[in-house]
Amino acid sequence: MDKPLAEKVSELIKKQHVHMRPKAYFVFGSILLGVGLVSSLLVAVFFVSVIIFRLRVNTPFAYLGNQAGLTPFLENIPWAPIIIALIGVTGGILIMKKFDFSYRHAFLGISGGIILSIGVLGIIVDTAGLPEQAENIHPLQPFMHMRYENDSWVSGTIIQTQPELLFVGTPSGSQFTVFFDSGTNIIPNTQMRNGEWVQIIGERQDSQFYAEEIMHRATPRRDPGPFPMNMEFEQEFEGN
């Protein structure tokens, strides 16, 4: 006949085949879980701010109005920060699910709350100017690196305007002579001024660029917010 369950379990414990895990094991586990959660959320917030910063400076969606705009659009989307932010958000939500309180509330509500909070905090961090500061931190540079030129597009600041001619400098230091004529689509169709930010689609030949479409607007904010930053780029153009 089978032994009673209580007896079987007791026997196993008595023979020391079963050991209770020490309290420290659980304390350490909880600390790790907390650290993991905070780290995931911080990573997500920071990279959301980087995404906002890069979209704000590069405005890749502006290229989509042009037939040839798909390539510059895809090349200006901050893919790496988007992927890392998604990993951070997903990790944060998965870790949050491990906490005791989480199942009492609807999963969608918790996930929505986390995503919304990360978005709002990302905007705050971007407004504070932290991504601009991070551009100067070496390990973060691969994620901050923005492209300003390729064979079919260029973006930068107008250094000088002449009839049917623009001199444009990119933040990475390149300078282009941009030719345009009455057939060039200028958006908005107003006079372009020195210091404005331009996104140009066309054809590049060395340092010359033949524009099909020019989008111009006020220079995107690259100020440091409350944080100090390297102002070389701005000073360089002020000197011009």
| Residues in touch with other proteins (CB under 8 A) | 2, 4-10, 12-14, 18-23, 25-26, 29, 100, 103-106
CA distance between the termini of the chain: 97
CA angle 198, 135, 72 (to 5 degrees): 35
For 153, the 3-state DSSP assignment is strand
| Residue 210 and residue 114 in contact, taking contact as beta carbons nearer than 8 Å | no
CB of 100 to other proteins, least distance (A): 8
Between 18 and 74, CB nearer to other proteins: 18
| Residue 200, beta-bridge partner list | 154, 214
CB of 15 to other proteins, least distance (A): 12
Between 4 and 142, CB nearer to other proteins: 4
CB of 12 to other proteins, least distance (A): 7
CA distance readout (Å), 167 to 84, 170, 237: 36, 10, 12
For 230, the 3-state DSSP assignment is coil
CB of 21 to other proteins, least distance (A): 6
CB of 120 to other proteins, least distance (A): 25
CB of 47 to other proteins, least distance (A): 30
H-helix or E-strand containing 125? Answer: helix 107-128
Between 9 and 120, CB nearer to other proteins: 9
Between 8 and 193, CB nearer to other proteins: 8
Does the bond joining 81 to the residue before it have cis omega, within 30 degrees of 0? no
For 4, the 3-state DSSP assignment is coil
For the record, the structure tokens of 190 come out as: 């107003």
| Residue 168 and residue 159 in contact, taking contact as beta carbons nearer than 8 Å | yes
CB of 19 to other proteins, least distance (A): 7
H helical segments located in 59-147 = 70-76, 79-98, 107-128, 130-134, 141-144
